[in-house]
Amino acid sequence: MGLLIFLLKAYMVFLMLVLLLYIVRHYTFTLNRALGKQRLYYQDVLDEDLPTVSVLVPMHNEEKVARHILDLLVASDYPKEKLEIIPINDHSTDKTKEILEEYAQKYPFIRPLHRYGDLPRGKQNGLNDALKIAKGEVIIVYDADYLPPKGQIRTLAIAFKDPRVGAVMGRVVPINAGKNLLTRLLDIERAGGYQVDQQARYNLNLIPQYGGTVGGFRKSVVMELGGFDPRILAEDTELTYKIYLNGYKVAYANSAECYEEAPEDWNARARQLRRWSRGHNQVMFKYFIPTILSKNLNFWQKIDGLLLLAIYMQPFLIFLGLLDSLLLFFLGEMEITSSYLFLLFMFAHNSFGNFAPFFEIGTALVLDGAKQKVFLLPLMFFEFIFNIIYASLGFFDALIDLITKRTILWQKTERFRNA
Amino acid sequence: MDSKQAYSKIFEVEKPVVGYARFGRVLKFNKYLFMLQLALLVVVFEFLVIFFLEDYFKILSDITRRILEDSYTGNYKFLSFRLEYSISPGRLPTLQESFIYLLVSSLSLLFLISRFNPLSKYISAWLIYISFVYFVSSFYFVFFLDSFPYTERDFAVLYILQQTGVFLFIPILLAFSLSIFTFSWLNPLLNAITIALSLTYSSVFGGLRYIVFAYTLKNFSYIHMPAMFFLFGPLLDFIYIVSFYSLCLYMTIKLFQRNQEAFYQWGF
Amino acid sequence: MPEVVLLLALFFILLFLPFVPPLIELLLKRDAKPIPIDLERKKEPDYFGKSFINLLATALKDLKIQEVEKPNPVYLKLKLNGEEWVGFLNDEKLAESTMDTPVIFTKDTVFLQNHKFKRELVVLGNAVFKNTCVARSLYVKGDCVIEAPVRIARWVHVEGTLIAKSNADLGVSVYAREMKIRGWTTFKRAYAKKIDTSDEPLIDKENNTGSVINLKGNFGITGSITIGGKERPVFVDGDIFCDGAAQIEGDVWIKGNVFSQESITLKDGVVIGIEGKVKSVVARGEILIKGPFRIYGYIHSEKRVEASP
């Protein structure tokens, strides 16, 4: 019994330290973004010798949104002789195919890839097939619900003039921010995650993340590294680590802002969160040790890399912490825990909300010029247990994937926009 | 260089009034003000907390004694403090009570995780958590009633420790979060007011909470004790702390919004 | 008992009170819109001048402007950013020493007197500045020659050639077909098919019979870099991206872009880019150009560019 109590208390101390580490990390990012010298991105490099670009747009039953993104991509100011657009029609059963064929007829640089039959479903599989036919040196990926501005492809592609850049990521902004409680929370969390967190990681030469959309990568590097692993749901996170471990970098373009559609329904959000957590934890299992051993990362990049890998494991650790505390409570060992319980919840909250704490989000909102939006911060409370449950479920899913090596069934986020 | 300086002085300088784009702007920062207000806010408010800690619990104890019949008073030695508390005797739940709670919490859990649950998932998540805590608690009291390690006195001590933790943490958390804003000398004032309001709110809310909990333990048994710490404990303190933080942020923005240049500078 | 009920009620009030402001915002949606993103946004080095002239052209579209022959300024109320008076002059002498409105000179103009134009200055012809001049912004339809100290606060747009023979502070953004810097000049960014500080032929126009150091490829440098072409010319057929400062001097021809997170120094014979193509020099810190220099394209500094022949 003594040993059990010791282990339970030791776990509490361990958890406090881990959460404290995350708090310090996020506070450092907040200070750096709010007050520090910012790292210049490449948007001001004007160069006539632009790389050839293939824009990939994975689509599965995207009839509601397909036209919007294709119209905007057609309007892009990127030289058309250096641009091709490959919408990847992945087993769509609605009018997606017809819409893509209509655009392909009108525009020679739009070349849809239709995937049906026995071809395995999923974004990674679609991307892998598209990479075989893509002619561009640079691949830019947009999810189908995104609305890229005219000059954005150029903004993203120019980064690849720097030979160290393996991937680039822009800033995601929910267009349906004002719809309901969920979209409002996601809007402020995205602000914290991109305006502060990603930019700070870029400033500090740490590990900004390639997010799989409003972003791009160097085709030769990805092909050399074997493309996307179809067993890993978070292909974007995996690419980030592959890139860094092989000596390249991810450039974060805070000026490359793009509208997306955030989930408007808690069920959709639950599925999305669980999938992200599962994918991210799959990457964690695969890259934790290689990150530690990598010769291409400096000490701080390794620390940041490991903390980033474990970010979707945090909810599970906190869940264990709650169980641990309950156990200690019933074993009569609450005294030591009581004074720390506050810290547990505080740190847990601080580490939460799309993994940006309240002061990071508050700072992002001030930088964005928000006013009444700052009042929404206490509502993040409502996500607390929700996030723990679904992210923990994702962690379990990843654990089972690791043990059983089962096949992944791809699931897409539901669209809410009217066509 | 002299000729260049002289040259610049010949002409009036018109500052280009172009708003700083949000991708590259940073906050105007005065590092001395940042360090000064961080140090002052933490030191002053921690001192106040420590100074009034004994008095706070004494007052709370007095009020509790007046509200709760048959309460008794005790003292807890915490470091060099003697913290007074008053509490009335609690009671263990009966087997019947425990069983009812176990049944209700089990059924709730089953319903909430089933596909027949029509509630929104974020509400369900909270209800699952509440049900889970009560499930664990009632399960324990059904099977291990005699092993329950706490009395109402223990509860009082645990609550004191928890509340003290909250008081000590508020100035640190808010000072670090708000000291970033150094637009003018008004910021330390706003930040100090925010911390003061938070501590005041915490005092009143914490005191109320204690009395409500003590009443519950006396009349509704110890079966609710885990919920007091794991549901209605520091988890709730977070809400008003962040609420005051957001209020302070809003006031800061409002005060300076007429002149955006007061906030921002270029970050490169 | 009633006291407990009251306390219980107070407890729940205080519990839910922090949610009141967010719930009000949730219901009223005073700040519910996403941050505005301009879907038409793209990088345009001539954005300011082009926008202003388009604004002016739109405002003048419905008006018939006769040739201004009388020796008097003509003022028209036009809708630019708001409704405002705009002065149309055909002679520099008609302009007062300080002008508060946007001013448009309808033909070639030589500025012999000291002027302060607090708003935009437009010359629909060639412009020569022979006396000190301050303006908020400058648009010239033809060529522009600066022979006296000139200070522009915001932008300069010259459709022809901009020749700065005297000290010139050209503000934030400069656009010209060609830019010749022959005096001490400062700005933040400048775009032209060719920007140079000297007429003499530089390394890209010379026949290099001697030994040359050839570097091919794009370079990503974690620290600083110094490239010296004093002893032997250096050709870099690619781009240079560095985290530290870049110091390039002598007979160095970089055919690609130069990008630095710190400062860039270009001295005594450096050439950037290839004639007919646009390349860039971009720095987070200062860019110092001294001595003979040429770039085909764009110079951009987040701090300041200082160039002198």
Half-sphere exposure (Cβ direction) of C290: Cα atoms closer than 13 Å: 8
Q: Is the pTM of this model over 0.90?
A: yes
- Alpha-carbon Rg for chain B in angstroms: 26
**Averaged pLDDT for residues A33-62:** 95
* Shortest Cα distance, chain B CAs vs residue A220, angstroms: 30
pLDDT for res C69: 47
Using a CB-CB cut-off of 8 Å, the residues of chain A touching C217 are: 163
This model of the complex carries an ipTM of: 0.90
**Averaged pLDDT for residues C161-184:** 96
Structure tokens at B142: 């059904």
Beta pairing partners, C220: C241
* Shortest Cα distance, chain A CAs vs residue C232, angstroms: 26
Please name the member of B67, B240, B247 whose beta carbon is closest to the beta carbon of C7: B67
CB of A45 within 8 A of CB of A161?
Answer: yes
pLDDT bin (cut points 50, 70, 90) of residue A415 is low
Other chains touching A, judged by 3 or more CB pairs under 8 Å: B, C
What's chain A's average pLDDT?
Answer: 91
Whole-angstrom distance, CA of residue B145 vs CA of residue A58:
58
Whole-angstrom distance, CA of residue A1 vs CA of residue A20:
28
C34 contacts chain A (CB < 8 A): yes
C residues 49-108 near A, CB within 8 Å? none
pLDDT for res C1: 61
Contact B165 A329 (CB under 8 A): no
Please name the member of B15, B239, B268 whose beta carbon is closest to the beta carbon of C18: B239
Taking 50 as the threshold, does the pLDDT of residue A353 lie above it? no
pLDDT bin (cut points 50, 70, 90) of residue B12 is very low
pLDDT bin (cut points 50, 70, 90) of residue A416 is low
Contact C153 B246 (CB under 8 A): no
In a 10 Å sphere around its CB, with 0-12 CB exposed, 13-18 middle and 19+ buried, how is residue A327 labelled? middle
Using a CB-CB cut-off of 8 Å, the residues of chain A touching C31 are: 370-373
CB of A149 within 8 A of CB of C39?
Answer: yes
Please name the member of A375, A382, A384 whose beta carbon is closest to the beta carbon of B246: A375
pLDDT digits (tens, 9 = 90+) for A215-264: 999 999 999 999 999 889 999 999 999 999 999 999 999 999 999 999 99
Structure tokens at B220: 């509704």
pLDDT for res A338: 56
Taking 50 as the threshold, does the pLDDT of residue C179 lie above it? yes
Using a CB-CB cut-off of 8 Å, the residues of chain C touching B8 are: 169
Taking 70 as the threshold, does the pLDDT of residue A335 lie above it? no
**Averaged pLDDT for residues C84-110:** 87
Please name the member of A266, A346, A377 whose beta carbon is closest to the beta carbon of B246: A377
pLDDT for res A1: 81
Whole-angstrom distance, CA of residue C94 vs CA of residue B251:
51
Q: How far is CA A262 from the centre of its chain?
A: 13
pLDDT bin (cut points 50, 70, 90) of residue B16 is very low
Residue A108 makes CB contacts below 8 A (sequence gap 6+) with none
Taking 90 as the threshold, does the pLDDT of residue C61 lie above it? no
The residue that leads in pLDDT, C120 or B69, is: C120
Interface A–C counts its CB contacts (< 8 A) at 126
pLDDT bin (cut points 50, 70, 90) of residue B37 is very high
* Shortest Cα distance, chain C CAs vs residue B6, angstroms: 12
Whole-angstrom distance, CA of residue A415 vs CA of residue A316:
29
Whole-angstrom distance, CA of residue B98 vs CA of residue B142:
6
> Which of B10, B236, B241 to mutate to probe the C interface, most C CBs <10 Å?
B10
Going by the DSSP 8-state scheme, the letter that residue A161 receives in this structure is G
**Averaged pLDDT for residues A18-28:** 89
pLDDT bin (cut points 50, 70, 90) of residue C161 is very high
CB of A377 within 8 A of CB of A349?
Answer: no
User: What residue spans of chain B are helical by DSSP H?
Assistant: 2-10, 31-67, 95-113, 121-143, 152-178, 186-220, 225-230, 234-256
**Averaged pLDDT for residues A135-151:** 96
The residue that leads in pLDDT, C84 or B84, is: B84
pLDDT for res C84: 82
Taking 60 as the threshold, does the pLDDT of residue B8 lie above it? no
pLDDT for res A121: 87
Contact B10 C132 (CB under 8 A): yes
Using a CB-CB cut-off of 8 Å, the residues of chain A touching B126 are: 382, 385-386
Give the chain A residue nearest C32 (alpha carbons): A178
Percent above pLDDT 70 for chain C: 95
pLDDT for res A411: 59
**Domain limits, chain A:** 1-42+162-419
pLDDT digits (tens, 9 = 90+) for C274-308: 999 999 999 999 999 999 999 999 999 999 999 99
Give the closest residue to A347 by CA, choosing from A10, A12, A11, A20.
A20
- The helix (H) or strand (E) run that includes residue B13 is none
A366 contacts chain C (CB < 8 A): no
**Averaged pLDDT for residues C192-200:** 94
Whole-angstrom distance, CA of residue C293 vs CA of residue C309:
8
**Averaged pLDDT for residues A378-394:** 90
Whats the size of chain B, residue-wise?
268
Q: Cα–Cα distances in Å, from B89 out to A160, B154, B207, B266?
A: 72, 11, 18, 63
pLDDT bin (cut points 50, 70, 90) of residue C78 is confident
Percent above pLDDT 70 for chain A: 92
* Shortest Cα distance, chain C CAs vs residue A93, angstroms: 30
pLDDT digits (tens, 9 = 90+) for C99-145: 888 999 988 999 999 999 999 999 999 999 999 999 999 999 999 99
Cα angle, residue A16 at apex, residues A10 and A20 outer, rounded to 5°? 145
CB of A50 within 8 A of CB of A155?
Answer: no
pLDDT for res B245: 95
Taking 70 as the threshold, does the pLDDT of residue C70 lie above it? no
pLDDT digits (tens, 9 = 90+) for C232-263: 999 999 999 999 999 999 999 999 999 999 99
CB of C114 within 8 A of CB of C133?
Answer: yes
What's chain B's average pLDDT?
Answer: 88
Half-sphere exposure (Cβ direction) of A150: Cα atoms closer than 13 Å: 9
Interface B–C counts its CB contacts (< 8 A) at 68
pLDDT for res B5: 47
Taking 60 as the threshold, does the pLDDT of residue A94 lie above it? yes
Please name the member of A329, A346, A378 whose beta carbon is closest to the beta carbon of B226: A329
> Which of C42, C284, C295 to mutate to probe the A interface, most A CBs <10 Å?
C42
B146 contacts chain C (CB < 8 A): no
**What secondary structure does DSSP assign to B26-84, as a single string?**
EE---HHHHHHHHHHHHHHHHHHHHHHHHHHHHHHHHHHHHHSTT-EEEEEEETTEEEE
Whole-angstrom distance, CA of residue C236 vs CA of residue A177:
48
User: What residue spans of A36-113 are helical by DSSP H?
Assistant: 66-74, 96-106
> Which of C4, C24, C184, C305 to mutate to probe the B interface, most B CBs <10 Å?
C4
Contact B180 A325 (CB under 8 A): no
Using a CB-CB cut-off of 8 Å, the residues of chain C touching A40 are: 259, 261, 282, 284, 302
A173 contacts chain C (CB < 8 A): yes
**Domain limits, chain B:** 32-91+149-263, 93-147
pLDDT for res B123: 92
B residues 204-223 near C, CB within 8 Å? 204-205, 208-209, 211-212, 215
pLDDT digits (tens, 9 = 90+) for B205-244: 999 999 999 999 999 999 999 999 888 888 888 889 999 9
pLDDT for res A186: 93
**Averaged pLDDT for residues A53-81:** 95
What's chain C's average pLDDT?
Answer: 90
Using a CB-CB cut-off of 8 Å, the residues of chain A touching C242 are: none
Contact B67 C18 (CB under 8 A): no
pLDDT for res A91: 93
Using a CB-CB cut-off of 8 Å, the residues of chain A touching C241 are: 161-164
> Which of B140, B177, B183, B210 to mutate to probe the A interface, most A CBs <10 Å?
B177
> Which of C30, C35, C216, C305 to mutate to probe the A interface, most A CBs <10 Å?
C35
Give the chain C residue nearest B235 (alpha carbons): C15
Using a CB-CB cut-off of 8 Å, the residues of chain B touching A334 are: 150, 154, 158, 229
- The 3-state DSSP composition of chain C as helix, strand, coil percent (nearest 5) reads 15, 50, 40
pLDDT digits (tens, 9 = 90+) for B182-191: 988 889 999 9
The residue that leads in pLDDT, C96 or A396, is: A396
Going by the DSSP 8-state scheme, the letter that residue A192 receives in this structure is I
Give the chain B residue nearest A382 (alpha carbons): B122
Query: How crowded is residue B6: how many other Cβ atoms within 10 Å of its Cβ?
Result: 9
* Shortest Cα distance, chain C CAs vs residue A131, angstroms: 24
Q: Cα–Cα distances in Å, from A359 out to A258, A304, B249?
A: 24, 19, 10
pLDDT bin (cut points 50, 70, 90) of residue B6 is very low
Contact A326 B263 (CB under 8 A): no
Structure tokens at B136: 């664990």
Using a CB-CB cut-off of 8 Å, the residues of chain B touching C10 are: 208
Other chains touching B, judged by 3 or more CB pairs under 8 Å: A, C
User: What are phi and psi for residue B93, nearest 5 degrees?
Assistant: -75, 155
